[in-house]
Structure 1
């Protein structure tokens, strides 16, 4: 698995390698506290988030994308490959967020599908993982809507900045499931 920046075109969004040129648009998109409810930081300083993502990318730990709405050309969120494990041909799709005005528009679903398709079809992944805070039921439903299988809960997984002890719910799609998952997406059979 050789993970490199790439532009991916979907029905609703285009994923562009995250860079400094996205800071202004993402700053506006990130200004809503509800985006950060289950993330381990307050509404962030986006320039710092971008700098951190690019630093992690240089170390081979992450590949971050801006989610750009095709209809408007606006940067409306971000999503990343994280926990990249080339030797095991697996990775996680995470650090995913979309501005609330674009929730339930298909933007996040399209972005996740693009990364899954790229992982399985181009990177030859055998496993794609998603995880979310156990309190984030909306995210769990969205991940299940992607066709991912719930694997279980990592109890007391992380201590968040406010001292809360987080349980993380893990999901995955494996290579053997991908053709069916892809077919459902491409047929448009799942609701956004």
Structure 2
């Protein structure tokens, strides 16, 4: 009987994410490289994009030089971080892309199916309602708020925690695949059905 200690876990180990490319139907996800700085700065780093960096530890950036230096410190479209191979837990963060849905799908598929993690985490400032809505849309489960968790840019941060676990992934994977199907989009690229509508209840 395992009621007092939790269910048994097969002693497999997760693997570190490789420096590889994920090819989707609409996006190509590649490791961050200096050759993308011009494109990244144009879409994320200029003064009109200051709002994108409100809840992140880095940014906003005064000029292209400071943006470039930050990219060299691995602040990019997204990052797999806080990697715990022993417990097979990894966090996804810094998601900054207009193609977030397929980017997330390709990454989560690799995390669960190729790298053998048991748990994928999403954390954000509890004031960041856009990020919390994105986590819910992708199928994460809200786990609560860590009060006074961090000080970021001189201000308190209460951190909202979300998770997705390996046993949930098959149904979520199916929903992403159906949402990404070209038949789910009209001639203007507008979705016919929401991602949530494909999730099993």
TM score, norm. by length of structure 2: 0.75
The equivalent of 1:40 in structure 2 is 57
Q: Is the aligned partner of 1:177 residue 2:168?
A: yes
Mark the structure with the bigger radius of gyration: 2
Residues 128-167 of structure 1 aligned to structure 2 (within 5 Å): 128-161=120-153, 163-167=154-158
Shift of 1:22: 1.1
Is the 2:120–2:163 contact (alpha carbons within 8 Å) kept by the matching residues of 1? Answer: yes
The equivalent of 2:115 in structure 1 is 123
Q: Bigger shift: 181-190 or 136-145?
A: 181-190
Three-state SS of the structure 1 residue aligned to 2:115 is coil
Shift of 1:33: 0.8
* Aligned Cα root-mean-square deviation (Å): 1.7
Shift of 1:51: 1.4
Shift of 1:2: 2.9
Gaps of 5+ in 2: 1-14, 180-192, 197-201
Shift of 1:159: 0.5
Gaps of 5+ in 1: 54-63, 67-77
Shift of 1:113: 1.2
Q: Distance in 2 between matches of 1:179 and 1:165?
A: 37
Is the 2:175–2:195 contact (alpha carbons within 8 Å) kept by the matching residues of 1? Answer: no
Q: Is the aligned partner of 1:15 residue 2:29?
A: yes
1:36-55: CA deviation from partner (whole Å, max 9, x where unpaired): 111123323331122112xx
